[in-house]
A = this chain, B = another copy of it.
Amino acid sequence: MFDKIVIVGVGLIGGSFALALKQAGAARTVVGMGRSPGVLARAQELGIIDAVAQSPQEAMQGADLVLIAAPVAQTGPILATLLPWLEPHTILTDAGSTKSDVVAAARAVLGGRIAQFVPGHPIAGRESNGPDAALAGLYRGKKTVITALPENPAASVERVALAWRLCGAIIHRLTPEEHDKVFAAVSHLPHLLAYALVDDIAAKPHADLLFQYAASGFRDFTRIAGSSPEMWRDISMANRDALLVELDAYLAQLTKLRAMLAASDAAALEGVYANAQRARRNWIETIEAAEPRPAQESGN
């Protein structure tokens, strides 16, 4: 049970965390902080938070747990605002999609109090944003990665893990560096590739004709290009080095496929396609076996 939880950023991610803990009966009071008074008022109206903090001092007084759910580049400045009022028993955590940069910013700001910051990343989301998109069930059956620091007391890491488990999440542990390499490959690169394709098509003189014939395969392939450009700019910059490694590997792969195509090497191309289809099918079967709700597959 948490006596007082502070959510910095009461949108989809922070709001869903608050709703889930309330539904689990695990949060006595939830206080919101954020950039926009309108968003905070809306979150209170929706019952996501019980009160809007009038100052960082008021927010931090007696707080058990503080979740920072904001674009990753804002983590350092937010921690700097909270630090003067940080009580010794308070645990800080975050929900950022990158971890090495967040940890570096936290170390720079918190210094000797870094032990109080337990970094995390819930692997869940929706295309819509803001408090109206928040759902108590958003994290149910999803992974939350905790990238604990050597300085974190085991009890603090366990408290953060408990909060996410109460949201229905399954806890995984990685180092911040492992985390960033993994997500560069399976999340950050696909986002960049999807944005790149839509921008490429939109820039063509006959873009209107092309979009007219784009069907559900294109819709799914580019769905992640509907995500927030500001958020993904921050993620791309924060995880630049790992993303460049993955992008270069993918460019090499595309260059290899281009050569197969130019040489009309149908067998080689089919080999790549078949290997990908097989790997994807194995993956889908694994997640279908592991996750409570079935993987949805539909359309062309």
Contact = CB atoms under 8 A, between A and B. Distances in A.
Main secondary structure of the interface of A (DSSP, over half): helix
Most buried by B among A186, A227, A264: A186
A155 interface: no
A226 B182 contact: no
Contact of A270 (B217, B222, B233): B233
Interface string A200-235: 111110010111011101111111111111101110
A191 interface: yes
A247 interface: yes
Interface residues of A, number: 92
Contacts of A251: 251, 254-255, 258
A193 interface: yes
A213 B186 contact: yes
A238 B35 CA distance: 54
B261 A183 contact: no
Contacts of A186: 201, 210-211, 213-215, 218
A274 B143 contact: no
B124 A300 contact: yes
Interface stretch (A40-48, A82-90, A278-286): A278-286
Nearest to A204: B185
A207 B181 CA distance: 12
Contacts of A230: 270
A145 interface: yes
Interface stretch (A3-11, A160-168, A291-299): A291-299
A240 B265 CA distance: 11
A274 B229 contact: yes
A142 B214 CA distance: 11
10 contacts: A125-B299, A127-B297, A186-B218, A187-B215, A189-B197, A221-B223, A229-B276, A237-B264, A240-B261, A244-B258
A-B pairs with lowest CB-CB distance, top 6: A125-B300, A202-B279, A229-B273, A198-B276, A233-B270, A229-B274
